[in-house]
Amino acid sequence: MNTQDRFAQLEPALLEEINTHGIIKTFAMGDVIMRTGQYIKSTVLILEGMVKISRNDDEGSEFLMYYLQPGEACAISIICASKAETSQITATAMEDTTVLMIPIGFMDTWMSKYKSWYYFVLETYRSRFEELLVVIDNVAFRNMDERLQFYLKRHTAASQSNIIALSHQQIAEELNSSREVISRLLKKMEQRGMLKLHRNSIELLIS
Amino acid sequence: MNTQDRFAQLEPALLEEINTHGIIKTFAMGDVIMRTGQYIKSTVLILEGMVKISRNDDEGSEFLMYYLQPGEACAISIICASKAETSQITATAMEDTTVLMIPIGFMDTWMSKYKSWYYFVLETYRSRFEELLVVIDNVAFRNMDERLQFYLKRHTAASQSNIIALSHQQIAEELNSSREVISRLLKKMEQRGMLKLHRNSIELLIS
DNA sequence: AGTGTATTGTGACTTTGGTTACAGACTGCC
DNA sequence: GGCAGTCTGTAACCAAAGTCACAATACACT
């Protein structure tokens, strides 16, 4: 699928410019697209696949913030790119992923030149800000069982499948918990009929 | 102090417009400036005082996100105002506070008309986004003792005084913890010589 | 089929932080 | 001074989640 279809809300002249100046890059599942401390010189738009944005502390612990889908942009890359600052997050390809990199130079020009770009950037900020609020809600007010449930639901929504192909260990890392805790909670949820456990995958039965 | 001095980075013509169209409102210490679910029709700039931005869950528990100082704008109000949506946060005056309300109608126009406004809005997004990342870091990776320490430091930095005039109860609420836990941890910190406890105030000895 | 590795299941234990209950101390006010 | 209300200190207990240790299972590969 091409840029026009993914970003239909952008005006034609802008899409033209994006096609001319944007650099297309592809990443394989598991590839790190951006890592903590790296200098950001481009804004990233997702064309295909799925990207995980997470926070990592000094000891290597990870904490999932949100997923980016095709048609979305990485708010952090916009923020950092506009200041040429280092990012404080990690972006990982969850599937084979194609992105469009827009050199920061165009940000300013397009912002005043194309109303649709301005709205797109604002909407990106708004939606990511709200996602962060939900993340904070979860981690501040909810227990691990609720957070796990939320995580599974979000994962099925993002991948449009009720099968979550992850090991307990991987889930534990994204929630900054430990494998045993996740296994325990998943087992309880299975006993309550909420899901079915398989090796390397979880089948969600409720929606 | 007037708008010119608080927002010296904005170009004169814009400041003129701000003075013409902005509505000045004052709030007493403790007043709620914005509450969850409320419709936002204006962007808020802080002129005097200090504003606390926090997240509140359904049961009334609170969770501090950050403080806003004079010269800063409320990112959430910008986001919500530009979409005329409801906010998911609460803003409370921590001191007697003066704010400037800018009706949303001007956002779009100024954004393309005044480069300095565009930069100001981007910078507001950037800094608040980064504050949220720090908040997530704290709550995801740190224990309560570290979070409390961080809280106290941030408070002294914001109020430019090493005296924190809050009861243990108030601190507990902002960290979504309980009074006993905070008392316990503060006592420990006092024994380690990090601070001195008084009634209704804490004197921070380390920086 | 047999071996090695990754994944999952589970029990015992520890730590952190929340809860309950109550005592003492300070402040304001009559 | 005496009383009410708020704030602080503390002990005992509980619950959630992290840790440790080890068993059991499944899969991949030869």
Nearest CB neighbour to B82, from listed A82, A83, A122: A122
- Smallest Cβ–Cβ distance between A118 and the set B111, B133, B135 belongs to B111
Assess whether A124 and A165 both reside in one domain. Answer: no
Residue B16 has pLDDT above 90, yes or no: yes
**What is the total count of domains within chain B?**
2
Asked if residue A86 has pLDDT above 80, the reply is no
Cβ pairs bridging A and B (under 8 Å): 85
Q: Whole domain around residue A114: which residue ranges?
A: 3-140
Indicate which CATH number applies to the domain containing B20. Answer: 2.60.120.10
The pLDDT value recorded for residue A77 is: 87
> Do B83 and B107 lie in a common domain?
yes
Distance, first Cα to last Cα, chain B: 29
In a shared domain, residues B134 and B147: no
Residues A84 and A132 in one domain: yes
Q: A1-48 pLDDT, tens per residue? A: 578 788 999 999 999 999 999 999 999 998 999 988 888 889 999 999
CA of A60 to C1' of C25 (A): 47
| Same domain, residue pair A88 and A157 | no
| pLDDT over threshold 90, residue B175 | yes
- B36 and B16 within one domain: yes
Reported as a single tens digit per residue, the pLDDT across A87-145 is: 778 999 999 999 999 998 898 889 889 989 988 988 898 899 889 999 999 999 999 99
Quick one: pLDDT band at residue B5, thresholds 50, 70, 90?
Answer: confident
Same domain, B124 and B149: no
B47 in the same domain as B93 = yes
Domain-terminating residue out of B140, B164, B190? B140
| Whether the Cβ atoms of residue A67 and residue A53 lie closer than 8 Å to each other | yes
Q: Which of B140, B170, B194 is the last residue of a domain?
A: B140
Which of B136, B175, B178 has the highest number of chain A CBs within 10 A, making it the mutation to test binding with A? B136
Separation of alpha carbons A33 and A44, rounded Å = 10
Q: What is the CATH number of the domain that holds B146?
A: 1.10.10.10
B107 with B170, same domain: the answer is: no
A37 and A111 inside one domain: yes
The answer to whether the beta carbons of residues A202 and A196 sit under 8 Å apart is yes
**Which of B100, B123, B140 lies at the terminal end of a domain, its last residue?**
B140
Which nucleotide is nearest to B199 if distance is taken from CA to C1'? Answer: D7
Q: Are residues A119 and A54 in the same domain?
A: yes
Interface test with A, best of B53, B79, B112, B144 (most A CBs within 10 A): B79
Residues 6 or more apart whose CB falls under 8 angstroms from that of A61 comprise A173, A176, B141
